[in-house]
């Protein structure tokens, strides 16, 4: 990537340059490197985008689902063809490694392909009636105009898993991506436009939280699908509830990996390290707490720590890199501050590397100032929180930092896993089927992995959190239609 890309908005079938504040997308690995520039959309653009989406909605809703799917399938093909190029742009803009960036673009293509096939699936249900000569049908209709508000950490896959089902089920969309990742948003919108999507069906507005607020408050919005932090999601849900608008909100997490006494330790070390450190720990499903049985803790932790200290941190576009930067200097500082506060509160850092790390991959002395122009790097860090009440055990840090607690036995491990306000995902490592079955009942999360890392989601099954990690119907798979449609119950008799 060399040239800086000019950002554009999509409103009612036209590409427009914004008239708001200047927008800059910069590489988190090289903050002096501009990825894309432009001007933000303004609140009047929200009015125009919602009006365009409303205008397009009736024809789009009436189009057969199979015909709507043609556009999604073609956009998926375009993304597949461009996966290497767009994956490199994603790695440069968001900071995950090149392999992860390419993988995410391919995932977005797969999601578009999956929802392209909605037309081949069940459109509703038919029920017996207590009355002779009658059947009861439950049919589904789109909500209308959906606002999609997305986070930075999966800049193309998460938008795809909101926009694809929204469109497949007959809604039109106004989309605001996260501030740090406008280029990948543009790339997804370009693929859908190039696939021939009719004017107004997808509208893209690039800009800050003010645009999101304007969308949430807009009387022309019929539903809101949001992914991001719990604080923002709850405030959006409260505003939407006051207007009676349905919300699907996927929120924060503090996901536990439980390593029990009978676990396969080779498997557990590899999977916990992947869950904690891949994508610099910036997956909502990343492992950020490890609960390990005392009887195997020393051996397990020695290996996890050795793995963490060996990971290559650096430029995400360098194929040797295993951990890229975190998204911003603000995020980096807040993580380093949380680690410092934790060690002040008695938490023991087990990893040898200082969390503050230079762009070269070399660790710096604790508290040393960073070279200007350096990337937002944080070293993979393991913190032993056993016997403490440190905030780092409960608060989402959203970086390559994992806490550890030693426990005694399965019951204590599961109780600790359930601690706290979140409930997105968890992983349990055991070779005992009975214990695995017990975990399914005992651990209160939206997703549970048995003997695999806490991260990972397939497009054909429900995705989303329990407790403070989610509100409203789940995403993906058949679950997506619960949010993106509402039902009409039809009592059907012959006319005679």
Which residues are near ligand NAD by CB under 6 A? 149-153, 158, 176, 178-179, 208-209, 212-213, 216, 227-229, 232, 235-236, 250-253, 284, 396, 398, 424, 465, 469
**Residue in 113, 250, 354, 475 annotated catalytic:** 250
HEC profile for the chain?
CCCCEECCEEECCEEECCCCCEEEEECCCCCCCEEEEEECCCHHHHHHHHHHHHHHHHHHHHCCHHHHHHHHHHHHHHHHHCHHHHHHHHHHHHCCCHHHHHHHHHHHHHHHHHHHHHHHCCCEEEEECCCCCEEEEEEEEECCEEEEECCCCCCCHHHHHHHHHHHHCCCEEEEECCCCCHHHHHHHHHHHHHCCCCCCCEEECCCCHHHHHHHHHCCCCCEEEEECCHHHHHHHHHHHHHHCCCEEEECCCCEEEEECCCCCHHHHHHHHHHHHHHHHHCCCCCEEEEEEEHHHHHHHHHHHHHHHHHCCECCCCCCCCCECCCCCHHHHHHHHHHHHHHHHCCCEECCCCCCEECCCCCECCCCCCCCCCCCCCECCEEEECCCCCCHHHCCCCCCCEEEEEEECCHHHHHHHHCCCCEECEEEEECCCHHHHHHHHHHCCCCEEEECCCCCCCCCCCCECCEECCEECCCECHHHHHHHHEEEEEEEEECCC
385 catalytic per annotation: no
CB of 60 to ligand NAD, least distance (A): 24
> Quick one: 142 or 468, whose CB is closer to ligand NAD?
468
> Quick one: 157 or 413, whose CB is closer to ligand NAD?
157
HEC profile for 258-311?
EECCCCCHHHHHHHHHHHHHHHHHCCCCCEEEEEEEHHHHHHHHHHHHHHHHHC
**Residue in 89, 104, 284, 475 annotated catalytic:** 284
284 catalytic per annotation: yes
CB of 21 to ligand NAD, least distance (A): 13
Which residues fall within 8 angstroms of residue 442, CB to CB, at 6 or more apart? 414, 418
CB of 392 to ligand NAD, least distance (A): 15
CB of 122 to ligand NAD, least distance (A): 26
CB of 174 to ligand NAD, least distance (A): 12
CB of 187 to ligand NAD, least distance (A): 16
> Quick one: 76 or 470, whose CB is closer to ligand NAD?
470
> Quick one: 229 or 295, whose CB is closer to ligand NAD?
229
Using CA atoms, how far apart are residues 339 and 400, in angstroms rounded to an integer? 11
> Quick one: 68 or 376, whose CB is closer to ligand NAD?
376
> Quick one: 279 or 410, whose CB is closer to ligand NAD?
279
Query: Strand pairing of 447-450 and 22-26?
Result: unpaired
> Quick one: 238 or 368, whose CB is closer to ligand NAD?
238
> Quick one: 11 or 269, whose CB is closer to ligand NAD?
11
CB of 456 to ligand NAD, least distance (A): 12
> Quick one: 251 or 291, whose CB is closer to ligand NAD?
251
Residue 265 half-sphere exposure, CB side, CA atoms within 13 Å?
14
CB of 227 to ligand NAD, least distance (A): 5
The answer to whether 23 and 40 have CB atoms below 8 angstroms apart is yes
The answer to whether 94 and 126 have CB atoms below 8 angstroms apart is no
CB of 150 to ligand NAD, least distance (A): 6
CB of 229 to ligand NAD, least distance (A): 3
Using CA atoms, how far apart are residues 237 and 118, in angstroms rounded to an integer? 28
Task: Using CB positions, name the residue nearest to ligand NAD.
Answer: 212
| Token pair recorded at residue 291 | 């609960």
φ/ψ of 68, rounded to 5, equals -60, -35
> Quick one: 301 or 479, whose CB is closer to ligand NAD?
479
Catalytic residues: 250, 284
């Amino acid at each position: 990537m060399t040239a800086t890309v000019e950002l554009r908005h999509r409103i009612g079938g036209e590409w427009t340059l914004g008239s708001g504040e200047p927008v800059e997308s910069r590489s988190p690995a090289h903050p002096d490197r501009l990825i894309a520039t432009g001007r933000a959309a303004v609140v009047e653009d929200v009015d125009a985008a919602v009006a365009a989406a409303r205008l397009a909605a009736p024809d789009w809703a009436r189009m057969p689902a199979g015909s709507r799917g043609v556009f999604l399938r073609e956009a998926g093909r375009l993304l597949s063809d461009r996966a290497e190029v767009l994956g490199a742009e994603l790695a440069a803009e968001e900071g995950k490694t090149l392999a992860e960036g390419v993988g995410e673009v391919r995932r977005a293509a797969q999601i578009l392909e999956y929802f392209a096939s909605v037309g081949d699936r069940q459109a509703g249900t038919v029920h017996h009636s207590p009355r002779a000569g009658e059947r009861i049908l439950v049919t589904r209709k789109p909500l209308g105009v959906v606002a999609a508000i997305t986070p930075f950490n999966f800049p193309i896959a998460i938008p795809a898993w909101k926009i694809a089902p929204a469109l497949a089920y007959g809604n039109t969309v106004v989309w605001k991506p996260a501030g740090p990742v406008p280029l990948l948003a543009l790339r997804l919108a370009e693929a859908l436009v190039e696939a021939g999507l009719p004017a107004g069906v997808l509208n893209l507005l690039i800009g800050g939280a003010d645009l999101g607020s304007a969308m949430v408050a807009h009387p022309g919005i019929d539903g809101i699908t949001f992914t991001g932090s719990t604080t923002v999601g709850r405030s959006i849900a409260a505003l939407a509830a006051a207007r009676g608008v349905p919300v699907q909100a996927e929120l924060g997490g503090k996901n536990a990996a439980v390593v029990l006494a009978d676990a396969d330790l080779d498997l557990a070390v590899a999977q916990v390290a992947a869950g904690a450190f891949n994508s610099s720990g910036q997956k909502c499903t990343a492992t950020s707490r490890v609960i390990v049985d005392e009887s195997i803790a020393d051996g397990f932790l020695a290996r996890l720590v050795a793995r963490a200290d060996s990971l290559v941190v650096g430029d995400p576009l360098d194929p040797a890199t295993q951990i890229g930067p975190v998204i911003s200097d603000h995020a980096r500082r807040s993580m380093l501050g949380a680690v410092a506060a934790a060690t002040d509160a008695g938490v023991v850092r087990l990893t040898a590397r200082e969390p503050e790390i230079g762009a070269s991959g070399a660790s710096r002395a604790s508290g040393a100032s960073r070279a200007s122009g350096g990337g937002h790097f944080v070293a993979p860090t393991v913190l032993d929180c056993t016997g403490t009440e440190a905030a780092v055990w409960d608060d989402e840090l959203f970086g390559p930092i994992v806490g550890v607690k030693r426990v005694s036995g399965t019951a204590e491990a599961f109780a600790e896993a359930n601690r706290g306000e979140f409930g997105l995902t968890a992983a349990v490592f055991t070779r005992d089927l009975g214990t695995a079955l017990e975990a399914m009942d005992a651990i209160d999360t939206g997703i549970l992995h048995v003997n695999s890392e806490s991260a990972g989601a397939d497009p054909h099954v429900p995705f989303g959190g329990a407790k403070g990690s989610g509100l409203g119907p789940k995403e993906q798979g058949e679950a997506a239609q619960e949010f993106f449609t509402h039902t009409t119950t039809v009592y059907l008799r012959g006319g005679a």
